[in-house]
Structure 1
């Protein structure tokens, strides 16, 4: 009945491959290539009972096969949760759709390639677990079961059991495990899905296999058509299409998939380093480089250039770890010197290569906030950089609060930058997309972007020579509030705080209170001894009609202008209360690598909406770089916030920050506190602050459903576990403690606190005082 959760966050980079191999081995799997193992982010939940092991796995691209010493009559059962799985057997390649079961013989002879995401449910049943049932003939070939009939019933049961692995009681889990084991023999007697290459008669299977081989030989023909292949093989085009249709695919889909897989393999091969990306694409049958680039990004989630660069770095790291066995170091140096080393995304303009070395003296830059320089409610690896800076440069970035429209008179009127961003009339909305949702507002009809992400972010800022695997150090040199430009309030500073429907309190109103949202407008006072905020007035949210005519009964879309006449202001709120200021930026983010549009609300490994007030003047944050150029964005400025941010917001106040940005190249930061960084790390004058989340990389863990699933599954328990794992790893790998020493120290000297419970991906931070290691420094 053992429950064994696994998170790669527990391990430093060098230990991850072996730890992941152990996870796979516990299920009868192993990496397809014995010398390789996944070293990136991965999670797993496994539970066993008397010979039955059920697991949910989530990791990055890789290939797996049967464990060499695995044996037994019952096959492994694997249910892919993402499209893109490729099965390779003696019969050829086959694309497996999500939701189709695979019965995998314990003997080798097959491999599974997850070209993009590895998300699957795996069931391992020993013979003893199903000894009361007749097994039947031993399975020797991979069998695919379609989601219909008994197969559909088994898939639903498997998914349900996997989804409740951590919540089933010790009495319930053995019953569920034995139920799955008892159904295994019946499952093995199911007819294979028609998508099996060997399905149907032997002649059909042979013909289909011959067609696949013919396609393989002619992948480089950009004009390859079903008619050409059918004529060459002596069959009708209609019969050819029928054969491919019987596999659950089509000729066009299969041809495109094989071409993309061919280019993927060639781009990862150091022996092909002397060929350009265009040459490789043309050789695989793509005669339009732009079309190829779009297809490759859609299929694998990154551009061909980024993929090649990442593979080059992986080969270089592997060579170094194995004392230069394999490819000669000189070849790897040449590979790294290919054009792929420059930033792959320059949608706005190409930056001259000479600029990378032209400046040796740190420069200062200024990025203003207006409609052309902000992105509202999302992060994206595809955003054109507004400016490019070099390591060591300083930059002043103006930021606006998305809550300025709570009182447009005080926080927007007369401010040209704010007016540009918030401009919204019946005819024009300057910043249309507000969130990572669809532009056509097809789900809720609230507005373009649907409000799935709310923060106004200035940027992004590209950092010269930044590449995945590097670390960006961002020092916050100064934070200055943005004063009102309205002559009626000139020079005064205001902010807004909303106790909103997403707040932790919202279902906890006292019996006589109906659920409601309340907005409090604060004025900020720059008292030299102790600056503070004082409430000016408050009001309850009343339905607002935006300039396009949509009614907003709740605070459900960012930037809806509040008409003063539509609300009843109350001025005697928090009378006599002074709130000490903690100026900081709630959002400091680098672009995530996984998908193009990422909701700005849930934070993760890339930073984002951290909402930790310790990110104020004088502090530093270290973030792992995931995309070329890093693409730094800053926003969500706060005047004050408590740990937890319970009501849903801080005192949201437009501010301008000055930052020093330092790039640390991968391989050059051994023995540094960020040497093993996969999470946001904050440094203050006195402390190290490690950020833990319910899901440290929800985009990878949940795949395509990540941006909705994270909201549904976050908890403080998960966030606390993540913070603990990261602090244990920090103390062991950075400070050199044993595990027992690390745990002992955490219990007596590390403060764990709730960062926030309102951002979709809840946060717990771990604070380690530098004073603890004062003697060690001496």
Structure 2
């Protein structure tokens, strides 16, 4: 089953409004994030638009519980051998039946529940039904008919799909057996967070597609259980990359707090401060320099934005997490070759 996941098949779908796929923004050629939203359509046309565009590309059938309140929003990224989709939608059944399975795709798919309060039901033919709660996941195969269903609340799903040919050689025998339910845990959490960061990269940099795909394979290996060499490589490479990306995302979210410390950050991620230092050193920088760059970028962006024209420079600086104006001015001039006043006057 390929629950609500686009996997590299693009069609020049059109609706009865004569538009190209409305709400699909971005493209696969440059690995950009693709966005589809039914909210770009009138309410009466949302199911038809979603079926004609998104469901047709994803090779699934949408069966909503209430067509009047139907909505579907998806963000998708395609990487070499990996597809990622985050979907939020109204209660519905998303079915991959014999007609869809005929496309020949046999990907191994992690379906991870991201809904804050709802459990959803997953079913594979000859495997039966099982529930999946928040932070839990199930492993399904796209060449087996089945469905996933949310019955009561807004549905939240993260789908991470791997080419079977690229993933299964890394795994122990039967590790990717479809129908497995995966409990919430550290390795699954790292896979989830790393995949989500691929869909919202603006704060921590655009990912390298090949390296990111390799890291995701490593994390899937850690979750499912890998061959000895693959498991060790995943520990050395994928685990480190996932932790660094999670730490960078955390810094991007909290850089404006002046009391942010290395000890606090390490504690949040369950590692030692020295381990965090090593992660940044391997990137050719340091924790201190990376944090400084985030804060300087925030100040520069606000000084360049007319919306902040009435904010004093000192207010912007302190709000970015700096607590020493003299030191900030020197760091800013060294970084940009301009004073904050120069940037504001441009």
**Which one scores higher on RCO, CA 8 angstroms, separation ≥ 6?**
2
User: Greater CA radius of gyration, 1 or 2?
Assistant: 1
TM-score normalised by L of structure 2: 0.47
Structure having the higher helix fraction is 2
